[in-house]
Copies of this chain bind each other. A is one copy, B any other.
C-alpha cells in the first residue's frame, strides 16, 4: 500500500510558508501502517497539477491532496482534477447549505465566489469541513483513492482525523474487516518528552492501540490511536489506555484536542465563579494576553499589572519598598507581595505573579539568567483560607522560551489550584518514573529544560527540519 502526498499552492513553491501538513499526514498514515512513498508540491498551474494527479494515480494507491479548495480564482484543485479524469462538476445543494450556515454562524456575509466551493467532480464522496468553508472530497481513479483536503492546518487535521483516516482504514482492511480507527490527543505540561516515554511506553503495546509523543514547547502531546471492529470498540480501547495514562500522570494532562491551557483555566474559573488578576514582571503581559485570548474571558479575568520597574511594583501593586531594597525585585518575598497585591488591587479571588530574569542580560552570580519566581495568592472562597505560594525556578532556555515557560507555569497553577492539585512546576517533575510528586527537594532546573543536556526530551522541539 503506497501513499503519496501532494500540496498545491504558489505560496509553498515560493517558500513563503513551510508546509507542515505533509509531516502531519505522513505520520498519521503510518499509524495505519501505510507508508508514504512520495511527497510533492506544485504551483497553482493547471498543467503541472494535471501531471501531478496523473503521476500520483499511476504510481500510488492513495493520493492525498491539500490546498486549492478555496473560493478564489487561484484555487483550481477541484476543477483541474475533474477535467484530468473526465468528470463533470456537479453542484451539491447540501454542501452549499452547510457553507452558508457556516457564514451565518461566524457572522459574516457569504460571498458569491464561495458558491464555487459546493461543486465537486461527479461521483465524489464529499467530506464535511466543520471549521471552514472548503469541504473536501474523495474519488477513485485507476485503482487509486484520491482525497482532496483544505490546506489550512486546523481544517486539514480535523478532516483527516475524523473523516479521511477512518475511510482509508476501512479500505485498507477490506470490506470484511471494516475495522475503525480512532484517535485522541492528550495535552500535558510539566514533564519532558523522554521522561513521558519512559513513564508510559509500556502501555498500548498490545497491537490494538498505539501511543505517540510530540513536543510543542512548552507542552508535550500524547496521541492515543486504537483500532476496533466498530467506532465504539475502538473508543473503548482508547479509553482503557487513557485511563491507564491518567492513573500515572493524570495531573499533568490539562486538556484534550484543541484545549489551550488558558481556555482550560478560564473554564475552571468560570465554573467555580472565581476571578483572577495577574502581576507580571518578566512575562511582561503574556499571561494577561493569553487569558484574554479566550472569548468571554472578561467574566473571570479582571486585569493585570505589568510592573517592570521597581517603582511600579511599589506604587501599583503595593510591594513594600523595603522588600525591594532588601531582597531585590527578583525574590521570593517580592513575588508573594506582587501576587497578594494584585489580588487585592483588583479585588480578585486569585492573584498570579511572575518576577525573573529572562535574559540575555541582567544576570549575576547570585541571581543567574533564567532565575524566576512564580507566585500565586488566593482567597478563602478559593481554597479554605487566604493563602499564597511562591516557587523558585531556574529555566536555562532563551529569553522567548523563558517567558513562555514561566507564563505556562502561572496558568497551570491557576488550573492546579482550582482542581486541588499540588502547585508544582516543570522542574519538580523531571524524573518521571522515579520520584513521587512531592518528594522533590532541589530547586534547580529540570534537565528537560536545559538545552545543553543531550538527553533533553523537550529539546526535540528545536529540530524543525533536516537530517543529513
A 44-80 contacts with B by CB, 8 A: 45, 48, 66-72, 74-75
B38 engages A39 (CB within 8 Å): no
Decide yes or no whether A309 CB sits under 8 A from chain B. Answer: yes
Q: Looking across the interface, which residue of chain B has its beta carbon closest to that of A466?
A: B151
Complex Cα–Cα for A96 and B87 (A) = 57
- Which of A190-198, A228-236, A246-254, A295-303 lies at the interface? A295-303
Given contacts A42-B38, A289-B284, A399-B295, contact A152 B7 (CB under 8 A): no
A23 engages B30 (CB within 8 Å): no
Q: Mark A293-330, 1 if CB is under 8 A from B, else 0.
A: 10111100111111111011001100000000000000
- CB A194 to nearest CB in B, in angstroms, measures 13
- CB A462 to nearest CB in B, in angstroms, measures 8
A308: contacting residue among B106, B134, B292, CB under 8 A: B292
Q: Give the number of copies in the complex.
A: 2
Decide yes or no whether A400 CB sits under 8 A from chain B. Answer: yes
Decide yes or no whether A361 CB sits under 8 A from chain B. Answer: yes
Complex Cα–Cα for A298 and B315 (A) = 17
Given contacts A67-B467, A285-B287, A454-B113, contact A306 B309 (CB under 8 A): no
Complex Cα–Cα for A67 and B39 (A) = 15
Decide yes or no whether A177 CB sits under 8 A from chain B. Answer: no
- CB A111 to nearest CB in B, in angstroms, measures 6
Complex Cα–Cα for A14 and B35 (A) = 7
A 261-311 contacts with B by CB, 8 A: 277-278, 280, 283-289, 291-293, 295-298, 301-309, 311
- CB A265 to nearest CB in B, in angstroms, measures 15
B17 engages A464 (CB within 8 Å): yes
A285: contacting residue among B42, B74, B286, CB under 8 A: B286
Decide yes or no whether A463 CB sits under 8 A from chain B. Answer: yes
B23 engages A468 (CB within 8 Å): no
B303 engages A312 (CB within 8 Å): yes
B16 engages A27 (CB within 8 Å): yes
- CB A85 to nearest CB in B, in angstroms, measures 21
Decide yes or no whether A11 CB sits under 8 A from chain B. Answer: yes
Decide yes or no whether A130 CB sits under 8 A from chain B. Answer: no
A13: contacting residue among B20, B36, B109, CB under 8 A: B36
A468 engages B295 (CB within 8 Å): no
Q: Mark A18-34, 1 if CB is under 8 A from B, else 0.
A: 11111111111110000
Decide yes or no whether A108 CB sits under 8 A from chain B. Answer: yes
Decide yes or no whether A107 CB sits under 8 A from chain B. Answer: yes
* List of B residues within 8 angstroms of A445 by Cβ: none
Q: List 21 A-B contacts (CB under 8 A).
A: A13-B26, A15-B26, A19-B22, A20-B464, A37-B48, A67-B466, A67-B468, A71-B468, A107-B360, A111-B454, A134-B468, A152-B463, A153-B466, A283-B289, A284-B291, A284-B297, A285-B287, A285-B292, A295-B399, A302-B309, A316-B345
